[in-house]
Structure 1
Amino acid sequence: MGRLIAVVLFIAVLVPGVLLARAWALAGGRRAVASASVEFTSPTAEARDTVQRQATHGRRVRRIGLLLGLVAVAGSVAVFAEASVFLWAPAVALGLLIGVVLAEATRPRPRWTTGTPPRRPRRSEQISLWLLWTMRVVVAAEVVTAVLMWQRDELPDRVAWVALGAPLAAWLLAEVALLRALVRPLPAEGADVPVDEALRTWTAHLVSAAASVVALLPLGFLLLVAGVRLGDRVTDGVDLSPVALVAGGFSALAAGLAVAAFLVTWLRPVQLSERALAG
């Protein structure tokens, strides 16, 4: 009976990760709608200039993120010596993800004329609130888990600082980008509105996905470590805590990889092709 309960619990804990991956798959529909709305308009010269400048800015800052990842690799070699070889790929990935969030948080403001009185969109028009709050909850869960394990001497100080600093930095940058996308007034020219909405949609999904990945992968690793250590204890009766922690770890890792895959599809900038009008 205990094994059956453990299996059911393991499957149940995996469900949130599956639901999160499903939600990000559905977010692809929002991207398709935003792209189609841009193609059905004739953007102004200011809109074209804005899209080009923001795409160039994004590529440049992401290269800075790659450079940060390489610097992190060098730092890991200095700190962990030969053992750092296992940290090279995560360090580069972390640098790239931070570059994605930093690029969105520092995007140049559009130069088009804003409406009078200023109008601003609602958050739900840019991204699903479920995805947005899931990102925040995941970051909070990762920070709490890291702090608890650190207090119990289950994490070395150097690992704990990285486990706390990276998700918090990504979250803060994501919130800055989300706030900028929310408070920026809509353009006065009607043809530029779909372009502006597409840019906001891209920003909201990019930063939410990147911050989620930065938190989900460390969270999964921490939960797996905690579950394995609890499983080594000798207890009376059936202890389901290790099963729940291990299942939660696998769920977080799988969800993080799935969100990372969807993040790649959002990296392509907004395109102004006007194919619908040309046809």
Structure 2
Amino acid sequence: MGRLIAVLLFIAVLVPGVLLARAWWLAAGRRAVAAGGVELAEPTAEGARTLLRQAQYGRRVRLLGLLVGLAGIVGSVVVLAEASVFLWVPILLVGLVAGVLVAEATRPRPRWKMSSPPRRPRLGELISHWLVWTMRVTVAAQVVATVPQWRAGELSDAVGWAALVVPVAAWLLAEAALLRAVVRPLPEQGADVPVDEALRTWTAHLVTAATTVLALLPLGTLLLREGIDPDRVSKGYDFLPVAFVAGGFSALAAGIAVAGFLLTWLRPVRSSTPALTR
């Protein structure tokens, strides 16, 4: 009976990760709608220039993030030599995702005329509230999982600081980008509204996915470490390690899945000949 309960608990803890992956899969429909709106409405000259500038700016900052990640790898080799090999992928990942976050949080404002009186979208029109709150809860869970292990001396100072600073900094950048997305007024010209909505939708999903990835992957690692710690194994059926292991696998799998969806959102918003005139 105890084994059956452990298996059921393991499956139950995996469910949130599956639901999160499904929610991001459904978000692809919102991306298709936003991209289709840009295709159906021919933007003004300023709208077309805005699309080009935004795409170029995003690529440049993401490239800078890649270079920072590569520089971090070189620095780790200099400091830790062969022991740094296991840090290469995490450092590169942090650099790449940080580039995405900084690019979206610091995007230049469009130069088109704003609506008067100003009209602004609601966050729920750009991205599912469930995805945004999942990001926030995941960051909070990462902090809660890190602090006890750090205080107990199970994590070195370098690992503890990294596990706290990286997701919290990502969350702050994401919140700044989301705030900018809803505070900026809509454009005055109706032809530019689909372009503006698509840019906001892209930003909201990119920063939410990026922050979720930077929180889920270390959270999963810490939960797995907690669950397989031999010092915590007791006689009989101890369900807490099972929950930790299942939660760790769920967080890692969900983080990898969200990272895959993040890659699909990196393609910039494009406008070509309107579909109705083809």
TM-score, normalised by the number of residues in structure 1: 0.97
In structure 2, the residue corresponding to 1:272 is in which secondary structure? Answer: coil
The C-alpha deviation readout for 1:201-227, integer Å capped at 9, x for no partner, is: 000000000000011000000100011
Q: How does 1:246-261 map to 2 (within 5 A)?
A: 246-261=245-260
The Cα shift of 1:255 comes to 0.1
The Cα shift of 1:278 comes to 2.4
The C-alpha deviation readout for 1:111-141, integer Å capped at 9, x for no partner, is: 0001110000011000000000000110111
Alignment match, 2:133: 133
Alignment match, 1:46: 46
Alignment match, 1:121: 121
Give me the whole-angstrom Cα distance separating, in 2, the residues matched to 1:43 and 1:28.
23
In structure 2, the residue corresponding to 1:269 is in which secondary structure? Answer: coil
Alignment match, 1:82: 82
Q: How does 1:6-45 map to 2 (within 5 A)?
A: 6-45=6-45
Give me the whole-angstrom Cα distance separating, in 2, the residues matched to 1:275 and 1:23.
30
In structure 2, the CA distance between the partners of 1:39 and 1:94, relative to structure 1 (3 Å rule), is same
Give me the whole-angstrom Cα distance separating, in 2, the residues matched to 1:74 and 1:165.
21
Code of the residue aligned with 2:212 in structure 1: it is S
In structure 2, the residue corresponding to 1:37 is in which secondary structure? Answer: helix
Alignment match, 1:179: 179
The C-alpha deviation readout for 1:53-92, integer Å capped at 9, x for no partner, is: 0100000000110111112212322443322101101111
The C-alpha deviation readout for 1:205-251, integer Å capped at 9, x for no partner, is: 0000000001100000010001111x543535421110000100000
Give me the whole-angstrom Cα distance separating, in 2, the residues matched to 1:216 and 1:189.
41
The Cα shift of 1:169 comes to 1.2
User: Following superposition, which runs of at least 4 residues in structure 1 exceed 4 angstroms of deviation?
Assistant: none
- Does the 8 Å CA contact 2:41/2:274 hold for their aligned counterparts? no
Give me the whole-angstrom Cα distance separating, in 2, the residues matched to 1:80 and 1:217.
23
Aligned residues: 278
Alignment match, 1:199: 199
**Percent of residue pairs bearing the same amino acid type:** 68
In structure 2, the residue corresponding to 1:226 is in which secondary structure? Answer: helix
TM-score, normalised by the number of residues in structure 2: 0.97
- Does the 8 Å CA contact 2:233/2:241 hold for their aligned counterparts? no
In structure 1, the residue corresponding to 2:232 is in which secondary structure? Answer: coil
The Cα shift of 1:275 comes to 3.7
- Does the 8 Å CA contact 2:43/2:191 hold for their aligned counterparts? yes
In structure 2, the CA distance between the partners of 1:79 and 1:163, relative to structure 1 (3 Å rule), is farther
In structure 2, the CA distance between the partners of 1:123 and 1:234, relative to structure 1 (3 Å rule), is closer
In structure 1, the residue corresponding to 2:104 is in which secondary structure? Answer: helix
Give me the whole-angstrom Cα distance separating, in 2, the residues matched to 1:252 and 1:203.
23
2:269 counterpart of 1:270: yes
Alignment match, 1:64: 64
In structure 2, the CA distance between the partners of 1:41 and 1:220, relative to structure 1 (3 Å rule), is same
- Does the 8 Å CA contact 1:100/1:210 hold for their aligned counterparts? yes
Give me the whole-angstrom Cα distance separating, in 2, the residues matched to 1:72 and 1:162.
13
Give 5+ residue unaligned stretches, structure 1: none
In structure 2, the CA distance between the partners of 1:86 and 1:182, relative to structure 1 (3 Å rule), is same
In structure 2, the residue corresponding to 1:30 is in which secondary structure? Answer: helix
- Does the 8 Å CA contact 1:146/1:164 hold for their aligned counterparts? yes
Code of the residue aligned with 1:191 in structure 2: it is A
Code of the residue aligned with 2:251 in structure 1: it is A
In structure 2, the residue corresponding to 1:270 is in which secondary structure? Answer: coil
Give 5+ residue unaligned stretches, structure 2: none
